[in-house]
Each structure stands twice: as C-alpha cells, then as structure tokens.
Structure 1
Amino acid sequence: MTDPDAWKAEVLHALADLSSRSPSAPHDAWRLVLAIGEARPSRASAHDVEVALQRAEAHLARYRDEVERVVSSGLHVEPLLADWAACLQQGHPEEALDQLLALEEILVGAEVLGLSAPIQRILTEVARLVAPAPAALAGLELLARDRLSLRGPAARALWDTVSEAATRVPRSAPPGVVTAWFSRLDRLRADLARGVSRLTERFDVEPPDLAPVTALGRASSEWQVRVEGHCPAGWRLRLFLVDAAHPQGVPLREGVDADFRRVADRWILDGWRLDNAEDIALLIVLAAPTLPAGESLGSLLDAAATSPELRVAEVLLNPASGRTP
C-alpha cells in the first residue's frame, strides 16, 4: 500500500519546486501539470496541500498556453497503447504494469489541462484490451484499489476497469473462437497502423450493460444485453456477433434483429440475450462511408487492408465483465 505521508511530502515538494520557476522546458512543464493532478484529490482533506496547490495552479495559469502546447505535443498515446497491448498479448505482466503506469500519468496530466481526446482514447482502448481478461493482469486488483484513492476521475476510471478485469483472470476465459477473432482484429489494426486519434469522426463502442432476465418476478438463466456506440451519420454500419455456436459471426440487421437501431450519430443494440452467465460472445462493429450489405465478416475484414476508410471496433459480451444497471 502507498504510504500517505511519504506521498504527500513528495507532492508538496514538487509543487513548491515547480511553482518557483518558469515551466519553459518540456520536462518542467510536464512535472508541473502532473504534480497538480496528483495533488487535487487531497486538497479537501489537507490544508497544506490546498495552499501549495493554489499557488501551483496560479503559476500554471500564467503559462497556460505554453504549457498546453508543450505537453500536447509530447503525449505519445498511440505508441504507448500499442506497447501495452503487445505486453498483454505476450503475457509480460511487469512490462504491462510499467506501460499502465505511464498511461495513468497521461490521464492525470491531460485531465489538468482539459484534454479530453487522449483521455477518451486511453479509456476506450484499455476497456477493449482488458475485456477478455488477459493473464498479464493477474494480481493487479490490489494495486488498482490502492491507486484509486490517490487519483482524479480519469485515472480512477482506468484503475476501476483494470481492477474489474484483473478479478476475472482466473475464472472466466472466452472460447477459442472469440480469442481468435480478437487476435485477428489486433493484427488488422497493426497492419493498417490506423490510430483513432487521427479520425475527425467519432467512432467507438461503449462498455456493455448486461442484466439477468426476469419473467413473472423470477430470474431465468438468460442475460439481457444492451450496447451503444457512435458512428458518423450517413455511414454504413454492420454488426456481427461471434460465439462458440457461430464462429463466422451472425450479421445483425438494422431495424430487425435485437432492436438494432440508429439515431443520428449514435447506434443502439438492445435486446440480444446470452443463454446463461457462462455464455460469452464478441460483438464486432464495422463502419465506412460505403459498405457492401451482403458480405460476410471474414470477407469484410479481408477487404479492410485495402480500404483505409473502414473502421473496426469490438466489445466482449460476458456477464462476468459487463456492467449491470
């Protein structure tokens, strides 16, 4: 567990030191922003932290434009996410933890400066990567809970996601066909080198909501699934569900299957059911300005390598991992 007194002393020293000089160097600019972000969660309970924080925030305000420009240019989010994904896939827990702590720092600093794009990108990608509960997360739940008390909202969201996934590592594993599709989608992204930060349109899938089905006041073995996401209005959108019984993916028809519908730039899937608490499926989402209606999931992904406008995302549907209302 983190020693609160040692942590506070370190933060107070950083705030005082960095508030005494111009943050003209990139390293000093980043350290100032990070110190402020680390101090904010404790401002209400520690008067000395509050005083030092007020001074540091006033100092930041004087150099705000310069600091934001320097920090923004140095946030290398995509390479860091790619390295973290590789560590998870290769089963390297120590390297994965190092990358995760670096992502946490970016969240803390970006939150101080109000940079929403890197925050959204990191949280969305982390949720996607930990959905199958990779083995490299085993044992991280205690560390995640420890860090929750010392961080702001963005970093807490990161550690909440990691903690929940880490608790599932020994218990729940997706079927082989789902794991195979995860690997194929990751290879596709690597081949295309397509980063979401380069998009001008919003395209994502939010974490699913899953809840036990009740009928006549009694719970059944089934689970109700609701998933929402964003897709540019006017783009073609295709959804496929993959599970052990449907290894090639079941296409969902808009307005027909499982209450799959679109409203402006938002789409909703509300009504799909999993057979029981052990049932696991993978929802794969594809979108592009033009997209053939009759093609299979496999053929669409094959074509993606030569179609730079095609976007691909996925989310694991698992009662052990989804949110319950």
Structure 2
Amino acid sequence: MSTYSVTTYSELKNAVASAGSGDTISIGASISCSARIKISTSGITMKAKSGVTPVLDFSAISSTTGDSGIGIYVTGSNNAFSGFIVQYAGDNGMKIEGANNTVTNCIFRYNGDTGLQISKSTAKSNTIKYCDSYRNCDTATEGENADGFACKLSAGAGNQFIGCRSFQNSDDGWDSYNMNNDVTYTDCITWHNGDASITKYAGNGNGFKLGSSGSTGARTMTRCIAWDTQYSGKKGFDQNNGVGAVTLVNCLSFDNVIGYQLDEASSLTMTNCREFNCDSDELPSGVSVTKITDTSKQASIRNAVKTACNKILSNCENDIITGAITLDIWG
C-alpha cells in the first residue's frame, strides 16, 4: 500500500492515475484544478492531510457543462473521500456512479449543478456522512437543477445520507427525481433553498424532495429537519407526486408554508413527527403530525436549530469542516 502526498494539480492528477486498491492520496494544500478529477479505480482513499482543509477549486471548468464540468467524477467503487472542499465546478461538484463509496466531512459549494449527486443504476450502497452542500446554482437553466444533494435518475439501491446539511441552493435541498430504489436519510437538515437573492436564480426550492411523478422507491427518514422553506418552494418534506412507501421517525418541519406533502405515498408511517408555524399539510386520511403550540417550546427549538445552522454556515464560509453535530430537541 502506497501513500501519494500531493499539493498541486499535476501531482493530484498523477496520483489518481497511479493509485491502486489500498493506496491513499493525501491532499496537503488547496489546489486549483484545470480539469475534472475522474476516479475510475476502486479501493483508494482520497483525504485531506491531517491539520489541513484543502479547497479543490474548479474555476477553470466553471463554464463547462456535462460530464467534463464535473469536479470529482467517481465511477469506481469502494473508495473513501474525506476532509476537503469542492467548489466552482461547472456541473456537479462530485458525481458518484460507482458502489460502496463513502464521502465524509466534505463541503460542496458554488458549483454549477448539484453539489453531490448519486445517479446511474451502478451507483449502489454509497454513504454520505457529515457533509455540507450550499449555494450551488445552475445558471444555464436558471436555477432549476442545482440541489444540495441528489440521489436520482435511476440510482441503485442502498444509498444513504447521514448527518448532512443542505442550504441556500438554487433548487431543492435534496432531490430524488426518477428514483425507484430506496434512499435513507438520518439526522439530515435542510433550510433556505430557492432564494434568488442569494443564488441569482431559483428553481423549486423545496426541502426534501422525495420522488417524482410515479416514482416508487421507498424513503426512510429519521430525525430529519426541514425549516425556512418560504422562497420559491413551499414544502419542507415533498413527495413530489412519487408513490413509494415513506417512513418518517422523529422528523421536524417548521417555518415552512407546507410542512409535509406526502399524500400520494403507497404507504406512510409517521412516528413522533412534529411541526410548527406551517400553514398546512397534505397527508392521507387518518395520518397526522403533532402540532407544537407552546410558543416557548417553539422558540427553544427554533433557537437551537438556528444556532447550529448559523454555526455550520459560518464554518463553511471560513473553510472549517463542521463534522457531526448533536441537536437535543427530540425529547
């Protein structure tokens, strides 16, 4: 097993071409990348050097769309990525089409399409942990496609997001358009998407978009929060005409126009899900959420969530990886 220490684009490109299963690429400095980085090898680790938070800047391809405009394009499997920032790619910041990849403690920002996207049938059982994705915007289609995170377009089964945050993107926080396989979300937060005053253009701007017309994939969500969805979008949790089974446990929606729009689910299980300061819900007959009416309780929850999210934004803008957070609001 070899370790490749890199500080320049040329070194990074050569390391990616040379590394094999079991090898590590250690990024020791911020790098201006003149073209995309394609990871077709399997079993490598690409991570920040200890004590460094490198920024991989793809401004050189910021006007390039399609696959050539992707920052990091992963077609290999069983790879691990951690500790760096991806910005200004013309298309996705990172796109994953392989299986069993893990992305941990990364930031995706200012890209020309979704910050991190999982798609294609070969993209199975990938895990995204403690990552932040924000202020991504697709100018070519006036903000309609750039989500924070997406697992869509016929991605395979078993993909999951754990402890990730998505905010201030031109389109949705999360999108699973045309997705008939399962997706799991745990401890994820989304807020304030679809605000054209931030991203210049705005698409739908909903929180968690869980499907599209006729899509059948199951969605499982635990301790997820959608708040401040009042801009181009209106919905915190949006099934978007999907008809798959949906399970929500300990989820929270507040300061949204529509808290939960899940009325077309083939089956819907909601356990200890709550909301406040939402105008309405669209749920099947017999399904309801707990309304928090105590204004002091509302203020306590809102303050805890906003404080955490403001800290996340501040960290991101100062090139600091936030990592896992704990919100004690589920009692």
Pair in the same fold by TM > 0.5? no
* Structure showing the higher strand proportion among its residues: 2
Q: State the TM-score, normalized to the length of structure 1.
A: 0.29
Based on CA coordinates, which of the two structures has the bigger radius of gyration? Answer: 1
Greater length-normalized contact order (CA 8 Å, ≥ 6 residues apart): 1
Flag the structure with higher helix content.
Answer: 1
